[in-house]
Amino acid sequence: MSQLFGVRNDLDRVVKEFFEDFTKGMEYFHGWVPAMDVLEEKNNLIVRMELPGLKKEDIDISVHEGVLSISGERKREAANEPSEQFRTERYFGRFNRAVTLPKPVHVEQISAAYKEGILTITLPKTEAAKPRQIEVTVG
Protein backbone atom coordinates (compact mmCIF):
# COMPACT_ATOMS: atom_id res chain seq x y z
CA MET A 1 0.00 0.00 0.00
CA SER A 2 1.36 3.34 -0.95
CA GLN A 3 1.43 6.36 1.25
CA LEU A 4 -1.99 7.74 1.74
CA PHE A 5 -3.72 10.89 2.70
CA GLY A 6 -3.08 12.03 6.21
CA VAL A 7 -5.21 14.47 8.06
CA ARG A 8 -2.78 17.16 8.94
CA ASN A 9 -3.32 18.27 12.44
CA ASP A 10 -4.24 16.45 15.58
CA LEU A 11 -7.16 18.66 16.37
CA ASP A 12 -8.68 17.75 13.07
CA ARG A 13 -8.30 14.08 13.93
CA VAL A 14 -9.68 14.38 17.43
CA VAL A 15 -12.70 16.30 16.26
CA LYS A 16 -13.25 13.89 13.46
CA GLU A 17 -13.01 10.82 15.68
CA PHE A 18 -15.45 12.30 18.11
CA PHE A 19 -17.78 13.15 15.28
CA GLU A 20 -17.39 9.72 13.78
CA ASP A 21 -18.24 7.95 17.04
CA PHE A 22 -21.16 10.23 17.60
CA THR A 23 -22.59 9.83 14.15
CA LYS A 24 -21.91 6.11 14.07
CA GLY A 25 -24.12 5.82 17.12
CA MET A 26 -26.83 7.78 15.39
CA GLU A 27 -26.55 5.65 12.33
CA TYR A 28 -27.06 2.54 14.42
CA PHE A 29 -30.26 3.82 15.94
CA HIS A 30 -31.81 6.03 13.30
CA GLY A 31 -29.90 5.63 10.09
CA TRP A 32 -28.90 8.95 8.75
CA VAL A 33 -30.14 12.21 10.27
CA PRO A 34 -29.63 15.17 7.92
CA ALA A 35 -29.56 18.62 9.52
CA MET A 36 -32.85 20.47 9.24
CA ASP A 37 -33.78 24.13 9.68
CA VAL A 38 -37.29 25.47 10.14
CA LEU A 39 -37.84 29.13 9.38
CA GLU A 40 -40.83 31.39 9.43
CA GLU A 41 -41.51 34.48 7.40
CA LYS A 42 -44.62 36.58 7.00
CA ASN A 43 -46.38 34.37 4.48
CA ASN A 44 -44.50 31.09 4.58
CA LEU A 45 -42.87 28.45 6.67
CA ILE A 46 -39.58 27.31 5.19
CA VAL A 47 -37.99 23.96 5.91
CA ARG A 48 -34.42 23.40 4.75
CA MET A 49 -32.48 20.19 4.86
CA GLU A 50 -28.84 19.44 4.09
CA LEU A 51 -28.92 16.62 1.58
CA PRO A 52 -25.70 16.68 -0.42
CA GLY A 53 -25.42 14.40 -3.40
CA LEU A 54 -28.91 13.04 -3.80
CA LYS A 55 -30.99 12.67 -6.91
CA LYS A 56 -34.14 14.76 -7.00
CA GLU A 57 -36.23 11.66 -7.62
CA ASP A 58 -34.82 9.97 -4.52
CA ILE A 59 -36.37 12.58 -2.20
CA ASP A 60 -39.94 12.14 -0.93
CA ILE A 61 -41.92 14.88 0.76
CA SER A 62 -45.36 14.48 2.25
CA VAL A 63 -47.68 16.33 4.60
CA HIS A 64 -50.24 14.55 6.67
CA GLU A 65 -52.28 16.06 9.47
CA GLY A 66 -49.90 18.95 10.00
CA VAL A 67 -46.78 16.81 9.99
CA LEU A 68 -44.21 17.26 7.25
CA SER A 69 -42.24 14.13 6.43
CA ILE A 70 -39.08 14.08 4.37
CA SER A 71 -37.47 10.83 3.42
CA GLY A 72 -35.07 9.66 0.83
CA GLU A 73 -32.14 7.57 -0.07
CA ARG A 74 -28.57 8.15 -1.08
CA LYS A 75 -27.47 5.42 -3.37
CA ARG A 76 -23.91 4.30 -3.60
CA GLU A 77 -22.45 4.56 -7.05
CA ALA A 78 -20.86 1.40 -8.26
CA ALA A 79 -17.11 1.73 -8.67
CA ASN A 80 -15.82 1.22 -12.17
CA GLU A 81 -12.60 -0.35 -11.08
CA PRO A 82 -11.45 -2.19 -8.03
CA SER A 83 -10.38 0.42 -5.55
CA GLU A 84 -9.17 0.64 -2.01
CA GLN A 85 -11.05 2.71 0.54
CA PHE A 86 -9.10 4.98 2.84
CA ARG A 87 -11.86 6.98 4.38
CA THR A 88 -15.56 6.27 4.46
CA GLU A 89 -17.26 9.00 6.39
CA ARG A 90 -20.26 9.62 4.17
CA TYR A 91 -23.61 7.93 4.75
CA PHE A 92 -25.46 5.88 2.26
CA GLY A 93 -28.92 4.51 2.60
CA ARG A 94 -32.22 5.85 3.80
CA PHE A 95 -33.17 8.72 6.04
CA ASN A 96 -36.55 9.75 7.36
CA ARG A 97 -37.44 12.85 9.30
CA ALA A 98 -40.71 14.41 10.34
CA VAL A 99 -41.58 17.76 11.82
CA THR A 100 -44.86 19.00 13.21
CA LEU A 101 -45.64 22.24 11.43
CA PRO A 102 -46.08 25.07 13.91
CA LYS A 103 -48.72 26.79 11.76
CA PRO A 104 -51.45 25.58 9.41
CA VAL A 105 -50.37 25.67 5.76
CA HIS A 106 -51.95 25.39 2.32
CA VAL A 107 -50.97 21.83 1.56
CA GLU A 108 -51.73 22.10 -2.16
CA GLN A 109 -49.42 25.13 -2.53
CA ILE A 110 -46.29 23.61 -1.00
CA SER A 111 -43.27 23.82 -3.28
CA ALA A 112 -39.78 22.37 -3.03
CA ALA A 113 -36.44 23.14 -4.64
CA TYR A 114 -33.18 21.21 -4.51
CA LYS A 115 -30.00 23.17 -5.12
CA GLU A 116 -26.38 22.86 -4.02
CA GLY A 117 -27.33 19.86 -1.93
CA ILE A 118 -29.91 21.78 0.08
CA LEU A 119 -33.59 20.95 -0.07
CA THR A 120 -35.81 23.98 0.52
CA ILE A 121 -39.52 23.47 1.07
CA THR A 122 -41.77 26.50 1.06
CA LEU A 123 -45.11 26.08 2.84
CA PRO A 124 -47.54 29.00 2.44
CA LYS A 125 -49.35 29.73 5.67
CA THR A 126 -53.13 29.82 5.71
CA GLU A 127 -54.72 33.23 6.08
CA ALA A 128 -55.59 32.54 9.69
CA ALA A 129 -51.93 31.83 10.47
CA LYS A 130 -50.60 35.03 8.93
CA PRO A 131 -49.91 38.01 11.11
CA ARG A 132 -52.61 40.63 10.80
CA GLN A 133 -52.29 44.27 11.22
CA ILE A 134 -55.15 45.77 13.17
CA GLU A 135 -55.78 49.35 12.52
CA VAL A 136 -56.53 51.49 15.45
CA THR A 137 -59.22 53.97 14.80
CA VAL A 138 -59.22 57.10 16.77
CA GLY A 139 -62.68 58.17 17.59
Residue 16 — φ and ψ, nearest 5°? -65, -45
SS3 65: coil
| 42, 65, 78, 133: residue in contact with other proteins (rule CB under 8 A) | 42
Nearest to 34 by CA among 65, 76, 74, 87: 74
Choose one: 14-22, 64-72, 105-113, 125-133; the region binding other proteins (CB under 8 A): 14-22
- Cβ pair 34, 49 in contact under 8 A: yes
Q: For residue 82, state whether it binds other proteins (rule: CB under 8 A).
A: yes
Q: Least Å distance between CB 119 and other proteins?
A: 9
Residues 21-40 that bind other proteins (CB under 8 A): 35-40
Cα gap 18→22, rounded to integer Å: 6
Contact residues toward other proteins (CB under 8 A) are 2-9, 12, 15-16, 19, 35-42, 45-46, 48, 50-54, 79, 81-91, 99, 102, 114-118
